[in-house]
């Protein structure tokens, strides 16, 4: 039974009728997972008619007691009716559990109410039943509120779509859409399936999947997700995944799994409640029989006290204190584009003291760009013509930085692809050369020009190159066999919000932020200083990152690692909490990480930390309050002051307070 997602998984064979029959006393309705249904909203009075009828009988009993006295037949009958009408479901379960020796809160309540009737406390027995019924109504309301965050995810993607197969266009249900079908998505419509754009240009609002509020421009060959909103142009999308494999379907599945998985504090509470309930029953028995037997106490008074101990000892508040907080927090995170894959990760994230970051693609964009283009005064060509020649040469290169130079030429609208390159060749590990208009040009590292120039690189240019390298940039030199014509500096740009995120994390009390990179120390120091991390580790291979994470765990106990979920997989697995960037569209990130930032947005990290800490704080608050209020009420037994009224308020009041306290996690916002 997945309590958080309202799901039941059946092993073996049965029918829906049999399951509903087994859950008849709770009026359970079962619907197959794939079947669509309209949730019928019953009017409040009809849904809770037994509670209202019970309340009416109790008021009649109270009025009768005031007029005819507590012992009158009319008041006893009215109170009895209130107990039977409001508590019949409670008693059915409670008595079944009693004969099976399963002592849960319903068993305790049943014994307390029957005991109250036996010793003539009809009014208080009726009050116990009604307050228990009211608390159950409020509890189910609050859990439904927490579950709505998942239901709202389920309703994001459309249930049918307009598709084209061959030359025919028709509307079909999403279950019948096949991979390779063409979706036709008009402006203002939601995209029904994951796929790639084959025609059109539009901006798509991806907030439902990634939590990012700014629409993203989409054109041919770009990926789109089910449940996102096409805002402007007409798009034709080729379907790439079945309905059960879409990103939104995976998110829903993972969130439901996460809500079912028990967090450490929840596992503790469940173990505690298992032993706690029989202990309370034993204490209740001692309170009822020891004072009359040993100290000549009044049987009626001490049996009443024993029943009050039973009621106050109910572990309702304690049992619900953790799951309501976990379900609420995970649902809130999912709505904000953060996928937390279990209560355990939520709690661990709340206790993190140090965070390690991969550099490329995490603190930086992961895409090299030309940051400096410095044509030299001795160059006879104009700067654009020279850049066209360099881009044309790089067009034939396999070097990873070549794309940055070609992109720069495209931004300047330079027609480099039309240039004819002759005698092109690669100089291994150093650069490339090629002939343009009967002139041989070279593009490569400073080392290449130190070798081919008769007197090496002039000292003034060496100083410029050194200065650029100290800023964390890779310098490329362009020229001929006799002179340098231009310098180009290429760098992986820092994400716009990296510095702000690191500052926020430090202000939230994170002791260490460490940048891990395979880059050289010069580049690493330049980027590290720019973003403001407290430690920098450079020249690391994947196994070095793994060893460093283990070292950090020895020092700080709980360490998070933020990476892209692919090449950082070992380090992510070794950390207490592995956080993957860009969960949307990358299956690896969704599967390997404990937490996925769906929008590839580092700005979601402070929100995740804040939400996790708040959840941890509220869980601790709830457990402490649940146990504290019970201890306080039990102490009232010593002077004989504990009444059923106080007991029921201590139990039901506590249940309501911890539930509402857990729902406060819905108010944590991503600011």
Q: What does the alpha-carbon distance between residue 409 and residue 411 come to, in Å, rounded to a whole number?
A: 5
Q: Domain residues for 228? A: 160-245
How far is residue 372 from each of residues 41, 407, 432, 486, measured CA to CA in Å? Answer: 64, 13, 20, 10
Mean residue pLDDT across the chain: 81
- Token readout for 529 is 């200083």
- Token readout for 344 is 């355990």
In a domain, 502, yes or no: yes
CA angle 516, 517, 518 (to 5 degrees): 145
The rounded radius of gyration (Å) of the Cα atoms in the chain is 34
Q: What does the alpha-carbon distance between residue 174 and residue 176 come to, in Å, rounded to a whole number?
A: 5
Total count of domains within the chain: 3
Taking residue 28's Cβ as centre, other Cβ atoms within 10 Å add up to 13
pLDDT at 613: 93
Q: Which of 204-208, 250-254, 502-506, 510-514 has the lowest mean pLDDT?
A: 250-254
Q: Which band of pLDDT confidence, cut at 50, 70 and 90, is reported for residue 519?
A: confident
**β-pairing, 595-597 with 512-516?**
unpaired
CATH code, domain with 485: 3.40.1110.10
CATH code, domain with 357: 3.40.50.1000
440, 421 Cβ separation under 8 angstroms? no
Signed CA dihedral, 563, 564, 569, 570: sign only: negative
379 & 489 share domain:
yes
pLDDT at 617: 93
Q: Which of helix, strand or coil describes residue 396?
A: coil
pLDDT at 663: 84
Check whether 270 has a pLDDT greater than 70. no
Q: What does the alpha-carbon distance between residue 77 and residue 58 come to, in Å, rounded to a whole number?
A: 10
359 & 499 share domain:
yes
Most confidently modeled range among 203-207, 274-278, 538-542, 553-557: 553-557
CATH code, domain with 203: 2.70.150.10
Choosing from 189, 222, 245, the residue where a domain stops is 245
Cβ neighbours for 378, distance < 8 A, ≥ 6 positions apart: 483, 485
pLDDT at 25: 58
Mean pLDDT of 519-539: 85
488 & 511 share domain:
no
Mean pLDDT of 253-265: 63
365, 492 Cβ separation under 8 angstroms? yes
Q: Which of 36-40, 336-340, 378-382 has the lowest mean pLDDT?
A: 36-40
Choosing from 437, 464, 493, the residue where a domain stops is 493
347 & 388 share domain:
no
pLDDT tens, residue by residue, 447-468? 889 888 988 888 889 999 988 8
Cβ neighbours for 110, distance < 8 A, ≥ 6 positions apart: 90, 91, 94, 95, 98
Taking residue 278's Cβ as centre, other Cβ atoms within 10 Å add up to 11
Position with higher pLDDT, 319 vs 302: 302
pLDDT tens, residue by residue, 61-112? 888 888 887 778 888 888 888 888 888 777 888 888 778 877 666 777 777 7
Q: Which of helix, strand or coil describes residue 150?
A: helix
How far is residue 343 from each of residues 266, 418, 421, 509, measured CA to CA in Å? Answer: 9, 58, 60, 22
Q: What residues form DSSP beta bridges with 165?
A: 168
In a domain, 31, yes or no: no
pLDDT tens, residue by residue, 351-395? 999 999 988 778 888 778 888 999 988 766 688 888 998 899 888
419 & 516 share domain:
no
Catalytic pick among 358, 492, 568, 601? 358
470 & 529 share domain:
no
In a domain, 15, yes or no: no
Q: Which band of pLDDT confidence, cut at 50, 70 and 90, is reported for residue 609?
A: very high
547 & 501 share domain:
yes
Q: What does the alpha-carbon distance between residue 293 and residue 295 come to, in Å, rounded to a whole number?
A: 6
333 & 344 share domain:
yes
In a domain, 652, yes or no: no
Q: State the distance between the two ends of the chain, measured CA to CA, in whole angstroms.
A: 35
383 & 488 share domain:
yes
In a domain, 208, yes or no: yes
In a domain, 518, yes or no: yes
427 & 481 share domain:
yes
Position with higher pLDDT, 480 vs 33: 480
Could you tell me what percent of the chain has a pLDDT over 90? Answer: 15
411 & 355 share domain:
no
pLDDT at 245: 82
pLDDT at 510: 93
In a domain, 536, yes or no: yes
Q: Which band of pLDDT confidence, cut at 50, 70 and 90, is reported for residue 532?
A: very high
Closest by Cα among 610, 598, 592 to 671: 610
pLDDT at 138: 64
376 & 487 share domain:
yes
Position with higher pLDDT, 613 vs 227: 613
Choosing from 436, 462, 493, the residue where a domain stops is 493
Could you tell me what percent of the chain has a pLDDT over 70? Answer: 85
- Token readout for 376 is 């030299």
pLDDT tens, residue by residue, 113-135? 777 777 777 877 787 787 777 76
In a domain, 397, yes or no: yes
Q: What does the alpha-carbon distance between residue 591 and residue 341 come to, in Å, rounded to a whole number?
A: 9
pLDDT tens, residue by residue, 493-507? 888 889 999 999 999
Q: Which of helix, strand or coil describes residue 199?
A: strand
Would residue 104 show up in a list of annotated catalytic residues for this protein?
A: no
Extract long-range pairs of 467-471: CB within 8 Å, 24+ residues apart.
Answer: 468/372, 469/522, 470/522, 470/526, 471/526
Check whether 32 has a pLDDT greater than 90. no
């Amino acid at each position: 039974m997945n309590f958080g997602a309202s799901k039941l998984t059946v092993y073996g064979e049965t029918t829906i009728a049999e399951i509903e029959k087994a859950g008849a006393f709770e009026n359970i309705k079962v619907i197959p997972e794939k079947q669509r249904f309209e949730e019928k909203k019953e009017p409040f009075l009809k849904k809770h008619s037994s509670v209202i009828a019970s309340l009416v009988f109790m008021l009649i009993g109270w009025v009768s007691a005031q007029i005819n006295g507590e012992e009158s037949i009319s008041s006893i009958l009215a109170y009895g009716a209130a107990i039977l009408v409001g508590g019949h479901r409670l008693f059915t379960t409670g008595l079944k559990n009693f004969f099976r020796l399963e002592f849960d809160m319903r068993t305790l309540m049943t014994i307390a109410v029957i005991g109250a009737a036996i010793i003539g406390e009809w009014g208080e027995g009726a009050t116990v039943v009604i307050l228990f019924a009211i608390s159950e109504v409020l509890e189910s309301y609050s859990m439904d509120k927490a579950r709505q965050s998942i239901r709202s995810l389920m309703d994001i993607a459309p249930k049918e779509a307009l598709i084209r197969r061959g030359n025919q266009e028709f509307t079909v249900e999403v279950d019948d859409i096949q991979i390779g079908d063409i979706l036709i998505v008009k402006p203002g419509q939601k995209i029904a399936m994951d796929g790639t754009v084959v025609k059109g240009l539009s901006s798509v609002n991806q907030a439902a999947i990634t939590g990012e509020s700014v629409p993203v421009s989409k054109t041919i060959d770009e990926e789109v997700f089910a449940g996102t909103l096409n805002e402007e142009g007409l798009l034709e999308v080729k379907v790439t995944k079945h309905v059960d494999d879409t990103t939104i379907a995976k998110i829903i599945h993972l969130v439901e799994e996460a809500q079912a998985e028990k967090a450490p504090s929840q596992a503790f509470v469940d173990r505690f409640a298992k032993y706690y309930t029989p202990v309370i029953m034993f204490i209740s028995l001692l309170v009822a029989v020891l004072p009359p037997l040993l100290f000549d106490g009044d049987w009626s008074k001490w049996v009443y006290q024993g029943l009050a101990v039973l009621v106050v000892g109910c572990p309702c508040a304690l049992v619900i204190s953790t799951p309501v907080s976990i379900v609420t927090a995970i649902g809130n995170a999912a709505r904000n584009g953060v996928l937390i894959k279990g209560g355990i990760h939520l709690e661990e994230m709340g206790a993190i003291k140090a965070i390690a970051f991969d550099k490329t693609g995490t603190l930086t964009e992961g895409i090299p760009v030309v940051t400096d283009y410095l044509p030299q005064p001795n160059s006879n060509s104009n700067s654009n013509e020279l850049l066209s020649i360099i881009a044309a040469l790089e067009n034939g290169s396999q070097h990873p930085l070549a794309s940055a130079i070609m992109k720069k030429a495209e931004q300047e609208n330079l027609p480099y692809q039309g240039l004819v390159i002759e005698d092109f060749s690669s100089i291994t590990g150093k650069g490339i050369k090629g002939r343009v208009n009967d002139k041989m040009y070279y593009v490569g590292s400073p080392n290449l020009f130190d070798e081919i120039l008769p007197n090496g690189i002039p000292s003034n240019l060496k100083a410029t190159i050194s200065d650029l390298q100290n800023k964390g940039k890779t310098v490329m030199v362009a020229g001929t066999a006799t002179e340098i014509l231009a310098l180009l500096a290429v760098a992986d740009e820092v994400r716009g919000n990296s510095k702000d995120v690191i500052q926020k994390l430090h202000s939230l009390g994170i002791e260490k932020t460490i940048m891990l990179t395979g880059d050289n120390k010069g580049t690493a120091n330049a980027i590290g200083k720019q973003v403001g991390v407290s430690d920098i580790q450079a020249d690391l291979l994947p196994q070095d990152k793994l060893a460093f994470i283990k070292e950090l765990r020895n020092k700080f106990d709980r360490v998070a690692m933020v990476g892209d979920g692919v090449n950082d997989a070992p380090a992510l697995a070794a950390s207490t909490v592995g956080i993957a960037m860009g969960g949307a569209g990358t299956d690896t990130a969704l599967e390997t990480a404990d937490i996925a930032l769906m929008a590839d947005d580092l700005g979601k990290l402070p929100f995740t930390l804040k939400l996790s800490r708040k959840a941890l704080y509220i869980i601790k608050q709830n457990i402490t309050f649940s146990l504290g209020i019970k201890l306080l009420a039990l102490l009232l037994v010593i002077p004989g002051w504990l009444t059923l009224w106080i007991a029921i308020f201590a139990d039901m009041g506590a249940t309501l307070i911890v539930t509402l306290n857990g729902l406060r996690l819905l108010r944590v916002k991503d600011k």
